[in-house]
């Protein structure tokens, strides 16, 4: 009989077998959605395999209730990728599918049951519609055209379908040109719902592409060659900050579209990269689907649909865009590939960058990872010959990289009228820049007013009641203490709860206070702040825009200010304290700090005027700082790779972190020890070369009232490691319910 393996979008479950009713046998295929009974409920599942097999003896199989799709919702290429992802991360396929597919979201089975059109849509909201011109795919001969019709046709063929209003902004007589092309059968016009694009609906004139520099040209040629030859090669586009990596991406995508294949672009945080998105929009118009968390469910679904139906063939978005059903995938790009945001830290813990390589490989596509400070994982792949490095050694605008100086806080004072963390050299540098009508960025990795509060009487540091971390003082909206790891918030007490002493001292400085310090130090300057407190999501764009329009002179902020902003008038960048990041209890602390410093430094002096970067520290002799001063990525990489090899860390060793947490400390420890000893036995039985380290308490021992332990598994070879992890997963099934066990494959942080 015909059997179907069906993935049910419910966590903790694997695929289930159903019998296929005869009526569906002719058309059933993997990737189609179906309705099936599951635990007495009717659910939507995805068929992942269909096979002719003997019915298992003694068990009565349930039959599928209904086959929803006529063509697979999930294209074959994407389905294969999801299956591989599920097996790589040991994550249930049902959970992976749920994460990946907006077509599954909240689609209640009862609604589907009554009306089952292909891609059953959520109810329509009232929406504006526009006329969109589509190029007709293949016309044997194109009549000789001149003027507007010729330009419009070229536009449509390279950029893809475009709204007529947008064409009219760009080409004189666009409307009559479209009519003419339509009458010639070269173009079709359809009325369509206007795509929801809360971010970037400005329709600036199409950007004219700059002439590529020599190194850009070489990089583009390599990528294009692989694309045209259909060789699934992967590249590391290693270009200094401001070297014009975006232009290489854009041209690679153009080449990809010419080869009639689709492209996928991953960026770290879409709200922080409005410029990049705007450039994609201006080059590709409506031919690009921008996927971001601000989209409504309906808009997300529309994106999926237009990609799936082949109306759009370029998708750009943050991490989860890796699941976009880009048609005939030919190119996958990851911008700022070193960025930590590509790792999903809850649910299915996948690394978007690694999955970009995997998806490209499976699809026979070309992959391009771009960065000024490549991750050591990528450097490792270059060493193994799996990634080809393409260098962009100079800034595209011919601007020099900024001069980086260390300010030794042990030796350098500050003005008596300002805060001690605003050193005199940094003060002077900002003063000079402001006097010249230039701007400054000041980076500090702590939000809030004061990172912690300490009682001067007994030394107690005020802590979150449910997490083992100190609470941060925030001033906005009254003095409040907040935990940055949970929702805890309370009024700042007037005295220490432990000893009654009223003297509670602020320890350290956060961005909120720094903003105040700078405003006082430079009363004539307008200070803007960018961190998660002022700029959740979309509004960060507005802060950057204020800087660009020169409505602000100094920008203060956390990592958000280090991302790829291109602000030509910023000539001074200050780093308030490099030591915090360096001292994190994590083997990636050096790598992260180096990347952060080089990236933030890269914001300075991007146009004509030279930039200056001042890094404040109490450990100026630290080798990471020395490499940052000289922008020496190669030396840093070389040194750090040696450290990693000696200490047994990636990219030379593979890690799986088993994270355990629960409300009862003893219970967590018992379970951790049970799993660790099981892992040790398995190591002896199954394979050599797997080390089991721990259990040990996590650096943050308690979070939201749950105690946290972890076991680190480490090996050079992945198969050996997988065998042991699979064994742990087996015994985990019988775990005591209050202790949660999470497998973090290739963990990005140890907290
Ligand atoms: P990156 O992403 O490598 O930091 P960008 O792509 O933001 O760099 O480019 C930096 C600046 O250089 C941008 O203002 C861009 O317009 C400009 N640029 C890029 N390529 C060229 C080129 N070939 N000629 C002139 N300017 C260029
Ligand atoms: Zn807390």
Measured from the CB, is residue 394 less than 6 Å from ligand 1?
A: no
The angle subtended at Cα 469 by Cα 465 and Cα 470, nearest 5°, is 85
Q: What number of H helices and E strands is found in the chain?
A: 21, 30
Which ranges in 364-437 belong to alpha helices (H)? Answer: 376-383, 424-435
Asked if residue 351 has pLDDT above 80, the reply is yes
Exposed, middle or buried, 32 (CB in 10 Å: 0-12/13-18/19+)?
Answer: buried
Ligand 1 centroid–CA 222 distance in Å is 19
Ligand 1 centroid–CA 335 distance in Å is 14
DSSP single-letter state for residue 38: E
Q: For the segment 229-249, what is each residue's pLDDT rounded down to a tens digit?
A: 988 899 999 999 889 999 999
Q: What pLDDT is recorded for position 204?
A: 46
Domains for the chain: give ranges and CATH numbers: 2-113 (3.40.1440.60), 129-193 (1.10.10), 214-392 (3.40.50.300), 403-450+508-643 (3.40.50.300), 452-505 (no CATH), 654-745 (3.30.70.600)
Greatest pairwise CA separation for the chain in angstroms: 89
Nearest atom, ligand 1, residue 392 CA: 3
CA atoms of 7 and 17, how far apart (whole Å): 9
Measured from the CB, is residue 246 less than 6 Å from ligand 1?
A: yes
Q: Are 668 and 662 in contact (CB under 8 A)?
A: yes
Measured from the CB, is residue 605 less than 6 Å from ligand 1?
A: no
In the chain, the percentage of residues whose pLDDT exceeds 90 is: 59
Exposed, middle or buried, 443 (CB in 10 Å: 0-12/13-18/19+)?
Answer: buried
Q: What pLDDT is recorded for position 73?
A: 86
Asked if residue 260 has pLDDT above 50, the reply is yes
Contacts of 70 (CB under 8 A, 6+ apart): 27, 118
Q: What average pLDDT does the segment 269-294 reach?
A: 80
Lowest mean pLDDT: which of 333-337, 421-425, 447-451, 728-732?
Answer: 728-732
Counting ligands in written order, the one closest to the CA of 562 is 1
- Residue matched to tokens 């660009």: 548
Task: Give strand pairing partners of 193.
Answer: 129
Measured from the CB, is residue 396 less than 6 Å from ligand 1?
A: yes
Q: Where are the beta strands (DSSP E) in 362-457?
A: 366-371, 388-392, 403-408, 439-443, 452-455
Residue whose Cα lies nearest atom 2 of ligand 1: it is: 245
CA atoms of 307 and 304, how far apart (whole Å): 5
Residue to substitute in 214, 370, 397 for testing ligand 1 pocket (most ligand atoms within 8 angstroms of CB): 397
Q: What pLDDT is recorded for position 64?
A: 93
- The confidence band for 194, taking pLDDT boundaries of 50, 70 and 90, is low
Residue whose Cα lies nearest atom 20 of ligand 1: it is: 244
Asked if residue 100 has pLDDT above 90, the reply is no
Asked if residue 415 has pLDDT above 80, the reply is yes
Going by their DSSP bridges, the two strands 234-239 and 187-193 should be labelled as: unpaired
Measured from the CB, is residue 725 less than 6 Å from ligand 1?
A: no
Measured from the CB, is residue 454 less than 6 Å from ligand 1?
A: no
Q: What pLDDT is recorded for position 128?
A: 62
Asked if residue 68 has pLDDT above 90, the reply is no
Residue to substitute in 211, 242, 249, 400 for testing ligand 1 pocket (most ligand atoms within 8 angstroms of CB): 242
Asked if residue 106 has pLDDT above 70, the reply is no
What mean pLDDT, rounded, does the chain reach? 87
Please state the separation of Cα 695 from the chain's center in Å.
30
Q: What average pLDDT does the segment 578-603 reach?
A: 91
Counting ligands in written order, the one closest to the CA of 490 is 2
Q: What pLDDT is recorded for position 723?
A: 87
């Amino acid at each position: 009989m015909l059997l179907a393996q069906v993935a049910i979008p419910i966590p903790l479950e694997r695929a289930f077998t159903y019998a296929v009713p005869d009526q569906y046998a002719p058309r059933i295929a993997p990737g189609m959605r179906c309705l099936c009974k599951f635990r007495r409920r009717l659910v939507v599942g995805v068929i992942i395999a269909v096979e002719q097999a003997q019915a298992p003896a003694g068990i009565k199989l349930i039959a599928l209730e209904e086959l929803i799709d006529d063509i697979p919702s999930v294209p074959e290429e994407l389905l294969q990728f999801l299956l591989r992802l599920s097996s790589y991360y040991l994550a249930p396929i049902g959970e992976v599918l749920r994460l990946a597919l907006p077509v599954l979201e909240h689609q209640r089975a009862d609604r589907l049951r009554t009306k089952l059109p292909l891609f059953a849509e959520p109810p329509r909201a009232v929406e504006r519609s526009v006329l969109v011109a589509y190029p007709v795919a293949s016309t044997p001969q194109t009549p000789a055209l001149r003027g507007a019709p010729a330009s419009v046709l070229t536009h449509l063929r390279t950029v893809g379908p475009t709204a007529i209003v947008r064409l009219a902004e760009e080409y004189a007589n666009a409307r009559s040109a479209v009519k003419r092309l339509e009458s010639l059968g070269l173009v079709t016009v359809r009325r369509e719902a206007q795509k929801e694009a809360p971010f970037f609906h400005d329709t600036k004139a199409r950007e004219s592409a700059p002439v590529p520099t020599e190194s850009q040209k070489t990089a583009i040629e390599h990528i294009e060659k692989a694309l045209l030859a259909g060789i699934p090669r992967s590249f590391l586009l290693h270009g200094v900050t401001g070297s014009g990596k975006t232009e290489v991406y854009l041209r690679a995508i153009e080449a990809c579209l010419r080869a009639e294949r689709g492209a996928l672009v991953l960026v770290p945080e879409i709200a922080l990269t409005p410029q990049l998105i705007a450039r994609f929009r201006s080059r590709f118009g409506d031919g690009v689907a921008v996927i971001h968390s601000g989209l409504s469910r309906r808009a997300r679904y529309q994106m999926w649909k237009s990609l799936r139906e082949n109306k759009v063939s370029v998708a750009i978005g943050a991490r989860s865009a890796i699941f976009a059903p880009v048609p005939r995938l030919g190119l996958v790009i990851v911008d700022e590939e070193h960025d930590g945001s590509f790792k999903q830290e809850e649910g299915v813990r996948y690394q978007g960058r690694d999955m970009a390589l995997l998806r490209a490989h499976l699809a026979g596509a070309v992959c391009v990872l771009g960065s000024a400070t490549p991750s050591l994982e990528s450097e490792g792949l270059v060493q193994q010959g799996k990634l080809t490095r393409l260098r962009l050694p100079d800034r595209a605008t011919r601007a020099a990289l900024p001069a980086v100086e260390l300010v030794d806080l042990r030796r350098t004072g500050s003005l008596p009228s300002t805060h001690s963390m605003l050193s005199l050299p940094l003060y002077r540098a900002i003063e000079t820049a402001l006097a010249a009508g230039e701007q400054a960025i000041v980076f500090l990795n702590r939000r809030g007013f004061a990172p912690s509060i300490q009682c001067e009487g007994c030394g107690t540091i005020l802590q979150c009641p449910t997490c083992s971390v100190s609470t941060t003082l925030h001033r906005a909206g009254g003095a409040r203490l907040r935990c940055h790891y949970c929702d805890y918030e309370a009024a700042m007490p007037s005295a220490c709860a432990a000893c009654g002493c009223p003297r509670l001292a602020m320890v350290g400085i956060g961005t909120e206070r720094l903003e105040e310090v700078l405003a006082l130090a430079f009363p004539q300057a307008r200070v803007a702040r960018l961190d998660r407190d002022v700029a959740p999501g979309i509004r960060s764009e507005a802060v950057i825009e204020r800087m660009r329009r020169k409505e602000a002179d100094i920008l203060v902020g956390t990592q958000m200010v280090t991302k790829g902003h291109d602000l030509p008038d910023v000539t001074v960048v200050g780093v308030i304290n490099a030591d915090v990041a360096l001292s994190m209890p994590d083997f990636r602390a050096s790598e992260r700090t180096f990347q952060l410093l080089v990236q933030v430094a890269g914001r300075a002096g991007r146009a004509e005027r030279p930039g200056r970067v001042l890094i404040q520290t109490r450990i100026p002799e630290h080798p990471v700082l020395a490499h940052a001063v000289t922008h020496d990525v190669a030396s840093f990489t070389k040194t750090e790779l040696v450290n990693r090899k000696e200490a047994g860390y990636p990219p030379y060793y593979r890690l799986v972190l088993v994270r355990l947490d629960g409300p009862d400390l003893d219970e967590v420890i018992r379970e951790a020890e049970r799993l660790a000893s099981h892992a040790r036995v398995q190591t002896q039985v199954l394979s050599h070369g797997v080390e089991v380290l721990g259990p040990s308490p996590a650096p943050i021992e308690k979070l939201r009232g749950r105690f946290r332990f972890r076991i680190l598994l480490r090996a050079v070879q992945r198969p050996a490691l997988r065998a042991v992890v699979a064994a742990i997963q087996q015994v985990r099934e019988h775990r005591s319910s209050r202790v949660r066990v999470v497998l973090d494959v290739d963990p990005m942080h140890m907290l």
